[in-house]
Amino acid sequence: MKRVMLRVAYDGTEYCGWQRQPNGITVEGILNSRLSALLGEDIEVIGASRTDAGVHARGNVCVFDTKSRIPGEKLAHALNPSLPEDITVQESCEVAADFHPRHCDCNKTYEYQIYNATFPDPLLRRYSHFLYRPLDVSAMQQAAKYLVGEHDFKSFCSVNTQVNETVRRVNYLEVLEGGIRPYGFGATGETSDGIMPRLITIRINGNGFLYNMVRIIAGTLIEVGYHKRTPKSLAESLAACDRKAAGATAPACGLTLLEIQYGKTSMFQ
Protein backbone atom coordinates (compact mmCIF):
# COMPACT_ATOMS: atom_id res chain seq x y z
CA MET A 1 0.00 0.00 0.00
CA LYS A 2 1.29 3.44 -0.83
CA ARG A 3 -0.07 6.99 -0.78
CA VAL A 4 0.07 8.91 -4.04
CA MET A 5 -0.35 12.66 -4.44
CA LEU A 6 -1.75 14.25 -7.59
CA ARG A 7 -1.55 17.84 -8.74
CA VAL A 8 -4.77 18.41 -10.64
CA ALA A 9 -5.68 21.16 -13.13
CA TYR A 10 -9.23 21.72 -14.31
CA ASP A 11 -11.52 24.06 -16.12
CA GLY A 12 -14.33 24.26 -13.56
CA THR A 13 -16.94 25.66 -15.97
CA GLU A 14 -18.82 22.38 -16.38
CA TYR A 15 -18.44 21.02 -12.85
CA CYS A 16 -20.43 21.31 -9.63
CA GLY A 17 -17.17 22.00 -7.84
CA TRP A 18 -14.60 19.64 -6.38
CA GLN A 19 -16.50 17.75 -3.72
CA ARG A 20 -18.48 14.65 -4.60
CA GLN A 21 -22.23 15.08 -4.31
CA PRO A 22 -25.27 12.96 -5.08
CA ASN A 23 -26.55 15.14 -7.94
CA GLY A 24 -24.09 16.69 -10.32
CA ILE A 25 -20.71 15.89 -11.78
CA THR A 26 -17.73 16.92 -9.67
CA VAL A 27 -13.97 16.79 -10.15
CA GLU A 28 -13.57 14.48 -7.16
CA GLY A 29 -16.27 12.15 -8.51
CA ILE A 30 -14.54 11.92 -11.91
CA LEU A 31 -11.14 11.23 -10.30
CA ASN A 32 -12.58 8.52 -8.04
CA SER A 33 -14.32 6.70 -10.88
CA ARG A 34 -11.42 6.90 -13.35
CA LEU A 35 -8.80 5.92 -10.75
CA SER A 36 -10.95 3.01 -9.55
CA ALA A 37 -11.37 1.76 -13.14
CA LEU A 38 -7.66 2.16 -13.89
CA LEU A 39 -6.39 0.46 -10.74
CA GLY A 40 -9.14 -2.09 -10.13
CA GLU A 41 -9.59 -0.89 -6.55
CA ASP A 42 -12.14 1.35 -4.83
CA ILE A 43 -10.27 4.62 -4.80
CA GLU A 44 -11.41 7.65 -2.83
CA VAL A 45 -9.21 10.68 -3.12
CA ILE A 46 -8.74 13.19 -0.29
CA GLY A 47 -8.66 16.69 -1.73
CA ALA A 48 -6.73 19.67 -0.38
CA SER A 49 -9.17 22.35 -1.49
CA ARG A 50 -12.89 21.85 -2.08
CA THR A 51 -13.29 24.45 -4.78
CA ASP A 52 -16.80 25.72 -5.54
CA ALA A 53 -18.85 25.12 -8.66
CA GLY A 54 -17.31 26.99 -11.59
CA VAL A 55 -13.94 27.64 -9.90
CA HIS A 56 -10.82 26.57 -11.85
CA ALA A 57 -7.51 25.11 -10.72
CA ARG A 58 -3.99 24.81 -12.03
CA GLY A 59 -2.73 23.10 -8.93
CA ASN A 60 -5.28 21.55 -6.62
CA VAL A 61 -3.85 18.59 -4.74
CA CYS A 62 -5.27 15.25 -3.64
CA VAL A 63 -3.97 11.97 -2.28
CA PHE A 64 -5.18 8.37 -2.38
CA ASP A 65 -3.99 4.97 -1.23
CA THR A 66 -3.38 2.15 -3.67
CA LYS A 67 -1.89 -1.33 -3.89
CA SER A 68 -0.92 -0.63 -7.50
CA ARG A 69 2.61 -1.37 -8.63
CA ILE A 70 2.59 1.59 -11.02
CA PRO A 71 5.31 3.95 -9.70
CA GLY A 72 3.83 7.09 -8.13
CA GLU A 73 5.39 9.45 -10.65
CA LYS A 74 4.00 7.40 -13.56
CA LEU A 75 0.39 7.54 -12.39
CA ALA A 76 -0.23 10.90 -14.09
CA HIS A 77 0.74 9.33 -17.42
CA ALA A 78 -1.46 6.30 -16.78
CA LEU A 79 -4.50 8.29 -15.66
CA ASN A 80 -4.60 11.24 -18.08
CA PRO A 81 -5.76 9.32 -21.16
CA SER A 82 -8.97 8.34 -19.33
CA LEU A 83 -9.79 11.84 -18.05
CA PRO A 84 -12.03 14.33 -19.87
CA GLU A 85 -10.13 17.16 -21.55
CA ASP A 86 -11.14 19.72 -18.92
CA ILE A 87 -9.32 17.79 -16.15
CA THR A 88 -5.66 16.77 -16.28
CA VAL A 89 -3.21 15.53 -13.72
CA GLN A 90 -0.10 17.68 -14.05
CA GLU A 91 2.11 15.61 -11.75
CA SER A 92 2.03 12.64 -9.44
CA CYS A 93 4.39 11.34 -6.78
CA GLU A 94 4.48 9.03 -3.78
CA VAL A 95 4.16 10.68 -0.37
CA ALA A 96 4.38 9.60 3.26
CA ALA A 97 1.57 7.23 4.28
CA ASP A 98 0.27 9.67 6.89
CA PHE A 99 0.41 12.80 4.73
CA HIS A 100 -2.99 14.49 4.72
CA PRO A 101 -3.43 17.42 2.32
CA ARG A 102 -5.81 19.32 4.63
CA HIS A 103 -4.16 18.60 7.98
CA CYS A 104 -0.74 19.97 7.09
CA ASP A 105 0.69 23.45 7.11
CA CYS A 106 0.61 24.88 3.64
CA ASN A 107 0.32 28.09 1.67
CA LYS A 108 -2.20 28.46 -1.11
CA THR A 109 -2.19 30.89 -4.00
CA TYR A 110 -5.36 31.99 -5.77
CA GLU A 111 -5.88 34.35 -8.67
CA TYR A 112 -9.06 36.29 -9.34
CA GLN A 113 -9.27 37.76 -12.84
CA ILE A 114 -11.43 40.68 -13.89
CA TYR A 115 -11.79 41.72 -17.52
CA ASN A 116 -12.55 45.44 -17.49
CA ALA A 117 -13.55 46.68 -20.93
CA THR A 118 -16.48 48.06 -22.88
CA PHE A 119 -17.55 44.62 -24.14
CA PRO A 120 -16.81 41.06 -23.00
CA ASP A 121 -14.04 39.16 -24.79
CA PRO A 122 -15.21 35.70 -25.88
CA LEU A 123 -11.68 34.29 -25.47
CA LEU A 124 -11.47 35.42 -21.85
CA ARG A 125 -15.06 34.83 -20.79
CA ARG A 126 -14.58 31.39 -19.21
CA TYR A 127 -11.73 32.44 -16.92
CA SER A 128 -12.51 36.00 -15.90
CA HIS A 129 -15.30 38.13 -14.49
CA PHE A 130 -16.41 40.84 -16.92
CA LEU A 131 -17.07 44.40 -15.69
CA TYR A 132 -17.63 47.27 -18.09
CA ARG A 133 -17.43 50.32 -15.83
CA PRO A 134 -13.78 51.37 -15.32
CA LEU A 135 -12.34 50.28 -11.99
CA ASP A 136 -10.00 52.47 -9.94
CA VAL A 137 -7.14 49.98 -9.65
CA SER A 138 -5.03 52.28 -7.53
CA ALA A 139 -7.76 52.42 -4.86
CA MET A 140 -8.02 48.62 -4.98
CA GLN A 141 -4.25 48.34 -4.45
CA GLN A 142 -4.41 50.63 -1.43
CA ALA A 143 -7.32 48.65 0.02
CA ALA A 144 -5.51 45.34 -0.47
CA LYS A 145 -2.78 46.38 1.99
CA TYR A 146 -5.25 46.34 4.89
CA LEU A 147 -5.89 42.63 4.43
CA VAL A 148 -2.26 41.48 4.44
CA GLY A 149 -1.09 39.85 7.66
CA GLU A 150 -2.78 37.75 10.33
CA HIS A 151 -6.40 38.80 10.88
CA ASP A 152 -9.75 37.44 11.90
CA PHE A 153 -11.40 37.12 8.48
CA LYS A 154 -14.88 36.31 9.82
CA SER A 155 -16.35 39.21 7.80
CA PHE A 156 -14.91 37.61 4.67
CA CYS A 157 -16.43 34.19 5.25
CA SER A 158 -19.73 32.96 3.84
CA VAL A 159 -22.37 32.53 6.55
CA ASN A 160 -23.19 29.16 4.98
CA THR A 161 -20.42 27.45 6.88
CA GLN A 162 -19.46 26.65 10.41
CA VAL A 163 -15.88 27.07 11.43
CA ASN A 164 -14.70 27.99 14.88
CA GLU A 165 -11.39 29.46 14.00
CA THR A 166 -11.56 32.34 11.51
CA VAL A 167 -8.06 33.75 11.96
CA ARG A 168 -5.93 33.38 8.83
CA ARG A 169 -2.64 34.82 7.59
CA VAL A 170 -2.52 36.50 4.18
CA ASN A 171 1.11 36.54 3.06
CA TYR A 172 0.52 38.75 0.06
CA LEU A 173 -2.35 40.28 -1.83
CA GLU A 174 -1.55 42.00 -5.10
CA VAL A 175 -3.80 43.80 -7.55
CA LEU A 176 -2.09 43.74 -10.94
CA GLU A 177 -3.15 45.51 -14.08
CA GLY A 178 -2.27 43.91 -17.39
CA GLY A 179 -2.77 45.52 -20.73
CA ILE A 180 -4.65 43.63 -23.37
CA ARG A 181 -3.06 44.33 -26.71
CA PRO A 182 -5.38 46.82 -28.32
CA TYR A 183 -6.97 45.91 -31.63
CA GLY A 184 -9.24 48.92 -32.01
CA PHE A 185 -9.94 50.86 -35.17
CA GLY A 186 -8.24 53.89 -33.63
CA ALA A 187 -4.46 54.22 -33.79
CA THR A 188 -4.19 54.39 -29.99
CA GLY A 189 -6.10 51.17 -29.54
CA GLU A 190 -8.83 52.93 -27.62
CA THR A 191 -12.35 51.86 -28.39
CA SER A 192 -14.90 54.45 -29.44
CA ASP A 193 -15.71 54.89 -25.73
CA GLY A 194 -12.12 55.89 -25.04
CA ILE A 195 -11.61 52.98 -22.64
CA MET A 196 -8.60 50.68 -22.89
CA PRO A 197 -9.46 47.03 -22.28
CA ARG A 198 -7.47 45.52 -19.44
CA LEU A 199 -7.18 42.44 -17.32
CA ILE A 200 -7.04 43.06 -13.58
CA THR A 201 -5.59 40.21 -11.56
CA ILE A 202 -6.02 39.87 -7.80
CA ARG A 203 -3.38 37.42 -6.58
CA ILE A 204 -3.51 36.24 -2.99
CA ASN A 205 -1.36 33.86 -0.98
CA GLY A 206 -2.12 32.73 2.53
CA ASN A 207 -1.97 29.88 5.01
CA GLY A 208 -5.64 29.04 4.61
CA PHE A 209 -8.86 30.45 3.26
CA LEU A 210 -12.36 30.43 4.71
CA TYR A 211 -15.38 29.45 2.66
CA ASN A 212 -15.76 31.96 -0.22
CA MET A 213 -13.02 34.14 1.30
CA VAL A 214 -11.19 34.95 -1.94
CA ARG A 215 -14.40 35.70 -3.80
CA ILE A 216 -15.62 37.98 -0.98
CA ILE A 217 -12.26 39.77 -0.93
CA ALA A 218 -12.51 40.19 -4.72
CA GLY A 219 -16.07 41.48 -4.43
CA THR A 220 -15.08 43.94 -1.71
CA LEU A 221 -12.09 45.21 -3.70
CA ILE A 222 -14.38 45.70 -6.71
CA GLU A 223 -16.63 47.90 -4.53
CA VAL A 224 -13.53 49.91 -3.58
CA GLY A 225 -12.68 50.13 -7.29
CA TYR A 226 -16.12 51.67 -7.83
CA HIS A 227 -15.73 54.07 -4.88
CA LYS A 228 -18.58 52.48 -2.96
CA ARG A 229 -16.07 51.91 -0.15
CA THR A 230 -12.83 53.66 0.75
CA PRO A 231 -9.59 51.67 0.92
CA LYS A 232 -9.34 52.54 4.61
CA SER A 233 -12.81 51.14 5.32
CA LEU A 234 -11.40 47.63 4.93
CA ALA A 235 -9.86 47.93 8.39
CA GLU A 236 -13.40 48.43 9.72
CA SER A 237 -14.71 45.56 7.61
CA LEU A 238 -12.15 43.27 9.24
CA ALA A 239 -12.80 44.59 12.75
CA ALA A 240 -16.57 44.09 12.48
CA CYS A 241 -16.26 40.29 12.30
CA ASP A 242 -19.58 40.30 10.48
CA ARG A 243 -20.22 39.09 6.93
CA LYS A 244 -22.42 42.14 6.30
CA ALA A 245 -19.40 44.42 6.77
CA ALA A 246 -17.74 43.10 3.60
CA GLY A 247 -18.76 43.28 -0.04
CA ALA A 248 -20.60 40.91 -2.35
CA THR A 249 -19.22 37.50 -3.32
CA ALA A 250 -17.67 37.84 -6.78
CA PRO A 251 -18.67 35.22 -9.39
CA ALA A 252 -16.88 31.85 -9.45
CA CYS A 253 -15.65 31.95 -13.06
CA GLY A 254 -12.96 34.55 -12.24
CA LEU A 255 -11.29 32.37 -9.61
CA THR A 256 -8.41 29.94 -10.15
CA LEU A 257 -6.55 27.99 -7.46
CA LEU A 258 -2.98 28.29 -8.71
CA GLU A 259 -0.88 26.41 -6.24
CA ILE A 260 -0.66 24.70 -2.87
CA GLN A 261 2.78 24.64 -1.30
CA TYR A 262 3.62 22.11 1.39
CA GLY A 263 6.90 21.85 3.20
CA LYS A 264 8.93 19.02 1.70
CA THR A 265 9.29 17.36 5.08
CA SER A 266 5.54 17.25 5.66
CA MET A 267 5.05 15.47 2.34
CA PHE A 268 7.85 12.95 2.32
CA GLN A 269 8.84 12.30 5.93
Based on the shown chain and the rule CB under 8 A, indicate whether residue 178 belongs to the binding site for its own copies.
Answer: no
Site string for its own copies, 187-206 (x = CB under 8 A): ----xx--------------
Tell me which residues are annotated as active site: 52
Position among 19, 36, 80, 158 found at the interface with its own copies (CB under 8 A): 80
Considering only residues 140 through 169, tell me which ones interact with its own copies, judged by CB under 8 A: none
CB of 259 to its own copies, least distance (A): 4
- Of the listed pieces 81-89, 145-153, 157-165, 231-239, which binds its own copies according to CB under 8 A? 81-89
CB of 232 to its own copies, least distance (A): 32
- DSSP track, the chain: -EEEEEEEEE-GGGSS-SS--SSS--HHHHHHHHHHHHHTS----EES--PPTT-EEEEEEEEEEE---S-GGGHHHHHGGGS-TTEEEEEEEEE-TT--SSSS-EEEEEEEEEEESSS--TTTGGGSEEE-SPP-HHHHHHHHGGG-EEEE-GGGS-SS---S--EEEEEEEEEEEEEPPP--SSTT---TTS---EEEEEEEEES---TTHHHHHHHHHHHHHTTSS-TTHHHHHHHHT-GGGS-PPPPGGGEEEEEEEE-HHHHH-
- Of the listed pieces 18-26, 88-96, 154-162, 215-223, which binds its own copies according to CB under 8 A? 88-96
Position among 100, 102, 103, 125 found at the interface with its own copies (CB under 8 A): 125
* 132: nearest Cα among 121, 144, 122: 121
Based on the shown chain and the rule CB under 8 A, indicate whether residue 134 belongs to the binding site for its own copies.
Answer: no
For its own copies, the closer CB: 7 or 215: 7
Based on the shown chain and the rule CB under 8 A, indicate whether residue 42 belongs to the binding site for its own copies.
Answer: no
Position among 41, 44, 86, 136 found at the interface with its own copies (CB under 8 A): 86
Which spans of this chain sit near its own copies (rule: CB under 8 A)? 5, 7, 9-11, 56, 58-59, 73, 76, 80, 85-93, 118-123, 125-127, 181, 183-185, 191-192, 256, 258-259, 267
